Amino acid sequence: MTELIFWAALILLTHTYALYPLLSVLIRRGCVTEPMNDMPSVSILVPAHNEADVIDTKIDNFHALDYPAEKLELVIFDDGSTDNTSDVANSRSSERIHVYAESPRMGKAAAVNRLVDNASHPLLLFTDANVSLHRDAVMQMVHHFADNDVGAVTGEVRLIGSDREFQSGESLYYQLERRIQRAESRVGSVMGVDGGMYVIRRSLFKTLPIDTILDDFLISMNVIRSGHRVVYESLARASETGTLSARQEFNRRTRIAAGAIQLIRRGNVPRWNEPCIWLQFISHKLLRWFSPILLVACLVSSVTLASQGGIITIAMWIQVAFYLAILLTLLIPLLRRTSLGSILFYFGMSQIAIAIGILRGLLNRQPPQWEKVQRLSNDSTGS
């Protein structure tokens, strides 16, 4: 039984972290999208909490977008800000820019619901206050909706200014994510959108429970469950100010894991009659969410069987060396300044955060409100 646990954990970890990403590199089949004769109207929705330092730039970014002005509106919802976010936003309101506010703070899911209620157009583009869309980002995403099977489109949001301690690790993670998303988009549906910028058909939006932690993933899963596809468009680009400290990134990863447990407990998973989508969901999301458990199972079982010698003993020593290297990066900040050290540190930090997030999700101890983090200024309007 112990040997079975070892091989099962090893195979599952190898699949999610090596084989599935490798498969995504090999997939080359593309999708042909029919041109749109008439560009649809789009509501750009921005939930905001204490965003006075970036909301003015966000409005400038909206005005700079290369899309028919009469078919775009910007809707901002100030969720209980304690700064002057509403004052700044209201000073720029117009026929195309609508600002709403409510206090006390309700949480992002409730803010998203209010934004949709106040939107006027059939396509909804969700984006964050600190995300700067490139000029043609809306156009690049919207043209996919000429295909009636497409229910949502996610783009490429590039992080700038992340902490150097985990920058290399974070960069590698997102490179792999983009490759996987591109492949999933070609053969089925992307497993989740980038919360910084994505578009969905309004008709597919379902009101979110107000305690939802991962609103963007739930929205995209509802699209998939409706029988529509979520596709990835690499030419739709935006920039987002990255996380400035390891602590903030740790909290973000913890929140994601807790939100994943919440979704699973509520049955927000693909429909059972879609094996291809289930394979993608398990390979890309489920196994990663439970990777700390698999890592522990692999190590403990290999230690238990180490006296047998052979491949399992070799695997045990490889794991011991790997975890010692991660421990050194956690204890010695200087090591994180190297590319390899940054990757090891990011992986180790992420696994610890996921483990804590799993526990919080099981105990229902993760608050739904999102935490505003310290960021670099992002005053680009995109190009």
- What SS3 class is residue 126? strand
Distance CA 347, CA 298 (A): 17
- Average pLDDT of every residue of the chain: 89
Angle, in degrees to the nearest 10, between helices 291-304 and 311-331: 130
**Residue 383 pLDDT grade (very low, low, confident, very high; cuts 50, 70, 90):** very low
* Residue 85, pLDDT score: 94
Pairwise CA distance, residues 356 & 292, whole Å: 10
Q: Are 151 and 200 in contact (CB under 8 A)?
A: yes
Strand partners for 356:
none
DSSP E strands in the chain: the ranges are: 42-48, 72-79, 97-102, 123-127, 131-133, 150-160, 197-201, 229-241
Sequence spans of domains, the chain: 40-246
| pTM summary value | 0.88
Given a cut of 90, whether residue 281 has pLDDT beyond it is yes
Residue 56: strand, helix, or coil: helix
Residue range 236-254, pLDDT digits in tens:
999 987 655 778 888 889 9
Q: In the structure, what pLDDT confidence band is assigned to residue 380 with cuts at 50, 70 and 90?
A: very low
d(CA 252, CA 290): 16
297 pLDDT more than 90: yes
Name the more confident of 364 and 12.
Answer: 12
pLDDT at 244: 59
Q: What percent of the chain has pLDDT over 90?
A: 68
Q: Please report where in the chains the tokens 């799993």 appear, as a residue.
A: 358
- pLDDT for res 382: 42
pLDDT for position 32: 55
340/46: higher pLDDT: 46
**More confident of the two residues 1 and 79:** 79
Q: What is the pLDDT of residues 93-138, one digit of tens each?
A: 999 999 999 988 888 999 999 999 999 999 999 999 999 999 999 9
pLDDT per position as a tens digit, 47-66 = 999 999 999 999 999 999 99
Q: Taking the C-alpha atoms of 74, 75, 77 and 83 in order, what is their torsion angle to the nearest 10 degrees?
A: 30
pLDDT value at position 165?
58
Residues 6+ apart with CB under 8 A from 300: none
Q: Are 367 and 251 in contact (CB under 8 A)?
A: no
The beta-strand segments (E) located in 85-149 are 97-102, 123-127, 131-133
Q: Residue 301 has what pLDDT? A: 95
Q: How confident is the model at residue 219 (pLDDT cuts 50, 70, 90)?
A: very high
pLDDT value of residue 28 = 58
Residue 361, pLDDT > 70, answer: yes
* Superfamily holding 40-246: Spore Coat Polysaccharide Biosynthesis Protein SpsA; Chain A (3.90.550.10)
Q: How confident is the model at residue 162 (pLDDT cuts 50, 70, 90)?
A: low
For residues 84 and 12, what is the distance between their CA atoms, to the nearest angstrom?
49
Q: What is the pLDDT of residues 171-182, one digit of tens each?
A: 778 788 888 888
Distance (Å, rounded) from C-alpha 47 to C-alpha 100? 10
pLDDT value at 379 more than 50: no
Identify the pLDDT of residue 88. 95
Give the pLDDT of residue 378: 45
Mean pLDDT of 199-227: 96
Asked whether the predicted pLDDT for residue 150 surpasses 50, the reply is yes
